[in-house]
Each structure stands twice: as C-alpha cells, then as structure tokens.
Amino acid sequence: MEYYDLDDFLKISALLNYQLSARQPKWNNITAIVLEGKPIAPRDEEVLLHVFDYLGKIYGKTKRDLGPFSVLHPHRATALLSHASKEVDLLDVMTCLLHDHFEDFKPTKFKESNRIKLDQLFRSFLREIQGGHQRRLMKHLQWLTKEPSETYNHYIGHLLDQAGNAPEVVRVKLADRLDNTFDMRIDLQDPLQGVDFFEIIFQTLYTNIYKGYRPERRHQTTLILNGAERLYQLFKNIVLMSLIRQRGAAATDSISQGLSKALAKASMEEAQRITLHIFGYHETSVSTLREILKETMAYAQSGGLEEVTPPQKGHHLDGLLMSVFDQPKHADRKKQLSALYQNKTLMIEVAISFIIIFLNFLNDSHYFVHGISAEGIRPEPKR
C-alpha cells in the first residue's frame, strides 16, 4: 500500500463531504471517489449505487463524536481498502461499506413505514448479487459486529476465528481501524507537517543548547477527544495487530499486509502528535523531558514493551496495558483515562512507548506484544 497520511485523509474527507452535502447526492460521483477511479463492471456499479443510496438513508444527517457525518466513516474506510487493492472486488467493497450495519441500524429510530422501505431496499440489492455471495456477505457482517457484552479482545479473537478462510474480513477490520485512527483529528493540516519528530527527540537527548520544541500555533484545547482518549484508540490498534500477528491472519494476504503497515505508521504518527503537543504546551523543560525519555528508553531496552507486564513489578510503566487501558466497563476506563490525562509525565512515557511498539510492528514482521490474547490482557507465565 502506498503511503497514505493525515493530509490525504483530510482531503478525501472534504471531497466526500462536499458530495454528500449536495441537495441530491450523485452516487456515481461517490463511487468514483471511493474506488479511486478503478474500473468496475457496470452491473457491479449498479449494486454499489444502491448500497450508497441505502447508507445515505440509514445514516441521514447523524454525526460522529467529532462532528462530521456518520456516513463518512464507511465511505472513507472503503476508500482506504480500495487504495490498498489493485482491483475492485464487489464483495470486499460491500462488506466494508456495510461493516457497521448491524451496530448502527437501529429499527427503533425509524417509523414503521420507513423501516419497511429500508428493509426492502437492503433485500433488493442483496438479490442483485449471486446467492453464494449473499450468504458470505451476511456472514462477514455478522462476524464484524461487536456484541455489547463482548470485550474488544474477545470480539477480535472471535472475528479472527471465524475469518480463518476469509482474508477479506481481516482487510475490512484493518481499514476500519485505519479510518478510526485518522478520524481522531479535524485539523486544517497535519500538526507533524514541517516538523521532524525524531530530530526533536535527538536534540532533547543529546544537545545542551537546545531550547525545546516551540509550536507556531496557539494552544487549543479539545472538549471531545483528549490525548489520553486518543492513546486508548491506539491501544486498540495494538490489540488488533497483536492478535492478527499471533494468528498469522495477514501472513498470506498482501492487501492485509499493506493495511497493517499503514495502520502501524498512522498509529505511530498519532502518538508523535500527542507527544509533541505535551512537549510544546505542557511539559516544556528540556532537562525534565530528557530524563523522561532516558527512563522510557531504558524500560524499552529491558524488554518491557515486548510483553504484558504485571502491575507494581518495579516500574510505573509495568502493568500499564492492564490497569489503564484494559477496562471493559466504560466508567472504569473513563476514570483511568482521566487520571492518565492529568499525569503529563506518564502521558509522554505512554506515547513514546506506543511509538516504539508501532516501530517494532514495522521493523519485525513477527513482532507482537506477548500476553495479549482473545481472553484478555495478562502476563504470560514464565517457562
């Protein structure tokens, strides 16, 4: 997969949003954008036009947490999948477009007459594809649906169990997480643009006359998604990629491999943005930052980022994945993330640790964090 960054994401978001804001959206324009102009059989294109029309009716003007239209998510995720693919596969595209269907389509939100019409529309484009593909599509959508009672680990583990002979489902999940990773920001431009993150780290560690990172932009707080909550989203990426690596679920599929690399790179860069934000606005003392970086480096070199560690083993990063992020109950997780957000020193250490983890994913095709399993997150027994 060719490199795809936050600026690319913001551009395609704006392009799709412009088309969707039309009084009467032209679904063939949406198709061309999402498929990046790749050729598609006329009959398959007709099916997709009906799917886009259906999604437009399902989502309407509902919005995601940051404010953009909810329908942008399946469109963009499918665009990311298309970007990673050499040609269009109708079943792949439909799976990606509808991957949140069973979670997002709440019949109680619609009047009975509208619900019946939507159900008829859904069944009509299903009839337009071959019977075997119909059954596969419905299975894929069921596997991709997270039950409210499931933990994220169990959900991904179950998905990978079911998708043993269906690499397209792994592709869709990776594209979904890649879109969610980019979708944590609505900046006009990438905060990393024109900034060499690793030069800043080098200067902080090794020069005595460096004055520190001073961003040109004024500090703007966010009331929707703070740095700790962004780190939680990156934690989910670590879980997903570790479980995929353990199962070898992307080992023979070049599209999944490309999306995995893109997800690791996007996650690493988001952790860099979080780090630089704290460097620039919260903890600006170069000497203090130098000590934080040295301590994190020592922990990484000791192997602490290669496995889940138990809490209170001796270092405050020990047990981090378990105690802060692996909280199935929303209220408990919110409390832990709030405490993390208040501790800027720990925030830096976590963000740097995540950068190292995602670099490990990029540098070693066999790397994963040991102790992450479908059953949960816990240290592996020593042999």
Note the pTM of the prediction, 2 decimals: 0.95
Q: Are residues 85 and 204 in the same domain?
A: no
SS (H, E, C) 131-193: HHHHHHHHHHHHHCCCCCCCCHHHHHHHHHHHCCCCHHHHHHHHHHHHHHHHCCCCCCCCCCC
Residues 6+ apart with CB under 8 A from 308: 321, 322, 369, 370, 371, 372, 377, 378, 379, 380
Residue 381: pLDDT band by 50, 70, 90 thresholds? confident
* 40 domain-assigned: yes
- pLDDT value at 314 more than 80: no
| Separation between Cα atoms, residue 259 and residue 337, nearest integer Å | 28
Give the percent of the chain with pLDDT over 90.
70
**305 in the same domain as 233:** yes
**Residue 311 included in any domain:** yes
Unique residue bearing structure tokens 């008829």: 120
Domain that holds residue 348: 190-377
Q: Which conformational region is residue 364 in: left (phi greater than 0), alpha (psi within -120 to 50 degrees), or beta?
A: beta
Per-residue pLDDT tens digits for 6-21: 889 989 999 999 999 8
Q: Is 22 left (phi over 0), alpha (psi -120 to 50) or beta?
A: beta
**What pLDDT, on the 0 to 100 scale, is given for residue 89?**
93
- pLDDT confidence of residue 221: 67
Q: For position 123, which CATH number holds?
A: 1.10.3210
For residues 135 and 234, state if they share a domain. Answer: no
pLDDT tens digits, one per residue of 213-261: 999 877 776 657 899 999 999 999 999 999 999 999 998 899 999 999 9
163 occurs within a structural domain: no
- pLDDT given at position 382: 64
For residue 183, being part of any structural domain is answered with no
Count of the separate structural domains present in the chain: 2
What secondary structure letter does DSSP report for 272? H
Which of 143, 158, 179 is a domain's end point?
A: 143
pLDDT at 87 over 90: yes
